[in-house]
Amino acid sequence: MKNLLIATFVVSISFLSGSCKVSSGQGKQYDFSSLDSVIQGWVDKGYYPGASICVVKNDTVIFQKNYRDYTPDTKVYVASAGKWVAAAVIGVVVDRTDLGWDDPVEKWLPEFKDDAKGKILLRQLLSHTSGVRPYLPEPRVDNYNHLDSAVTEILPLDTVFTPGTRFEYGGLAMQIAGRMAEVAMGEEFETLFQELLAQPLEMKNSHFTPINTDGGHAPMLGGGLCTTMNDYLHFLSMVYHDGMYNGKQIISAETVKEMQADQVKGAIIPSNNLDNYVAKGLGQSHNGIYGLGEWRELIDKKTGEAYQISSPGWAGAYPWINKHDKVYGFFISHVAGSSAKEDGFSSFFGSPVISRTVSEILKGKPLVVKQGRINVGNGSLYYEEAGQGEPIIFVHGHSLDHRMWDEQFSVFAKKYHVIRYDLRGYGISSSQTEDYQFMHVEDLVTLMDFLHIKKAHIVGLSLGGFVTADMLAYFPDRMLSAFLASGNIRKSKGPSEPMTKEEAKVRDEEIAALKKKGVEVMKKEWFEGLMKSGGSQRERMRVPLWQMIDEWDAWQPLHKEVRVVAGLDAIEELKKSHPAVPALIVEGHSSDNKFSKNPPILEYLPNGKLKIIEDCGHMMNMERPEEFNAALEEFLINIEQ
């Protein structure tokens, strides 16, 4: 059973001697077991050698944990998490000198006067819209400890696009910005950092130089910061309080606001690589993705202001601030070993899992919900239940988890005893193993037995529909009804035909190809396919759908999964039994969602019917929850009558 971490007290935070000092105090309970499970899973899989995390709400630490040998004072090179800090240093210089965000490079660096790069603005250098190439041409690496040397290397390089017309993520342009700040203040950048930020913020264990020459931490401003969790939390506290720290204004509130404002504006944003982190990592579709040295992860659609900002690093560090939640936090680690690469794991794109999980934890649950875990064979299932009345069990789809039923769970709990759970291998239920044969339908019956449920209405979508069909085939006596959405019989071999050597070889080749392609790419393609299948209301589901897919560990496509649904075996059983269970096959109709108007399963269900929900796709319960709920409610009422 996974360890439940419930913060039964909160701690007040103060910044003394460069570390996070805490004192206990009574406060609201938050259950951080889901976040702990995510991070512990990363560490256990070998993606990280250890880690630390701290979450602060209203200046109070609500969760802090260290993994393995990490401590709050473990020094780590945090890669692009340093971009935020470097830009803030330059922001202080803007506050204190004549340096301005709209100054051209040539104003401060005369060597650029006869070069096209001389017309680039300081704000463009810090927002990846400058046209300066992202990195030096291979095999050269900008691992200089002095910015004048770095700028000398950049000077002869051609721009790759007209400044302001395109967003291209990288670090080289920040070197020029840092050099402009050096000239404006008459000090080297490390000195500026120490005097303007590190010392007033008590960041005693942080530095940009000397550069880490191991690779992946150059150039200096874009990837060279070495820091600790405690130190970086001081920086986040300052930004969260609009530039104020310990009663002193370190950076002006106006500059903090300017750094968080949209600096990309009308620039073209590529859709197929790191440049589209906000879309790929968060499933967001807005264009105002970057400010000055920081990502604008989530924005208020009415005002256009960013309410969640961040600066994730490729190696694992993830600082963020969420103004709506009144939270800031920092996850610090450094990816190590080959496991992450072999599994296609990206710490950069995986970072938002942390902030999203925290937001979800803080929201709490509006219902009186019982949570539990039961043993099934060599694993366990997580479940939730609420309400009273006839039981309804919701079974989720592939790559998703129990949260896909958010729009149904509370609605039907008003009249029914509702249960939702994570299938084995999904959500926070236990993982699968390649050598252990089980079936999801047997797990479901075990759950019913544990909850003392003799019969239930089973509602499944996609993979959940396959499981519901298996219930009809093997356990019809345990069903009050069957509601099968976007899936019924899976047209594949069942457990009666174990995987052959030839099939195993093909799967190994598919897995190798997927790892080479990258799991994050696969997830994005899968997500876009589900989105494309939808109708006019599909944007309603974008954020929650991507959240689940992004947090999915993708075990199934990365392994030789045993046959966990009956598939064609179920057809043979249904041919024999023709169960009289009331059943409704529900499909969504849109231009990009294909379905059968005469599903074969209805041949074996004497009390089965087909219903079409117009203008929606595969994920109908999330895309059009009102219509889905109405169809389910009507179906249940008709059964009662």
User: Would you list the DSSP string of 121-163?
Assistant: BHHHHTTT-S---SSPPTT-----SSHHHHHHHHTTSPPSS-T
What is the predicted pLDDT for the residue at 274? Answer: 61
Identify the residue with better confidence: 16 or 11: 11
Other CB atoms within 10 A of residue 514 CB: 17
What is the predicted pLDDT for the residue at 26? Answer: 32
> Rounded CA gap, 46 and 456, in Å?
41
Identify the residue with better confidence: 30 or 420: 420
Q: What is the mean pLDDT of residues 193-211?
A: 96
Which run of H or of E encompasses 25?
strand 19-25
> Rounded CA gap, 72 and 437, in Å?
43
Burial of residue 607 (CB within 10 Å: 0-12, 13-18, 19+) is middle
What is the predicted pLDDT for the residue at 365? Answer: 64
> Does the pLDDT at position 24 exceed 50?
no
Looking at domain 370-640, its CATH superfamily turns out to be Alpha/Beta hydrolase fold, catalytic domain (3.40.50.1820)
Q: What is the mean pLDDT of residues 2-20?
A: 39
For 507-561, write each residue's pLDDT tens digit. Answer: 999 999 999 999 989 999 999 999 999 999 998 899 899 989 999 999 999 999 9
Helix (H, G, I), strand (E, B) or coil at 472: helix
> Does the pLDDT at position 17 exceed 50?
no
Tell me how far CA of residue 104 lies from CA of 123, 147, 391, in angstroms.
Answer: 9, 18, 67
Q: What is the mean pLDDT of residues 142-161?
A: 93
Most confident of 8-22, 62-76, 427-441, 545-559: 62-76
Architecture category of domain 76-362 in CATH = 3-Layer(aba) Sandwich (3.40)
Question: Is residue 36 very low, low, confident or very high in pLDDT (cuts 50, 70, 90)?
Answer: very high
Please tell me the pTM assigned to this model. 0.72
pLDDT > 90: percent of the chain: 76
Identify the residue with better confidence: 110 or 266: 110
Query: Tokens 């539990």 map to which residue?
Result: 372
Type of residue numbered 13: I
What is the predicted pLDDT for the residue at 366? Answer: 60
Type of residue numbered 203: M
For 391-434, write each residue's pLDDT tens digit. Answer: 999 999 999 999 999 999 989 999 999 999 999 999 989 889 88
Mean of per-residue pLDDT scores for the chain: 91
pLDDT > 70: percent of the chain: 94
DSSP 8-state assignment for residue 11: E
* CA nearest to 425, candidates 457, 392, 401, 452: 401
CB contact set of 475 (below 8 Å; sequence gap of 6+): 441, 445
What are the phi and psi torsion angles at 204 (to 5°)? Answer: -80, -15
For 157-196, write each residue's pLDDT tens digit. Answer: 999 999 999 999 999 999 999 999 999 999 999 999 999 9
- Alpha-helical (H) ranges within 475-578 are 501-517, 519-532, 542-551, 568-577
Tell me how far CA of residue 12 lies from CA of 17, 240, 249, in angstroms.
Answer: 16, 16, 22
Query: Tokens 């300066």 map to which residue?
Result: 132
> Does the pLDDT at position 27 exceed 60?
no
Phi/psi-derived region of residue 245, left when phi > 0, alpha when psi is between -120 and 50, beta in every other case: beta
Identify the residue with better confidence: 217 or 419: 419
For 287-339, write each residue's pLDDT tens digit. Answer: 899 999 999 999 998 899 999 999 999 999 999 999 999 999 999 999 987 77
> Does the pLDDT at position 503 exceed 80?
yes
* CA nearest to 214, candidates 312, 143, 134: 143
DSSP 8-state assignment for residue 398: T
329 touches 358 (CB < 8 A): yes
Tell me how far CA of residue 280 lies from CA of 42, 48, 522, in angstroms.
Answer: 20, 22, 11
Domain boundaries, the chain: 76-362, 370-640
Question: Is residue 594 very low, low, confident or very high in pLDDT (cuts 50, 70, 90)?
Answer: confident
Most confident of 270-284, 488-502, 620-634: 620-634
Type of residue numbered 44: D
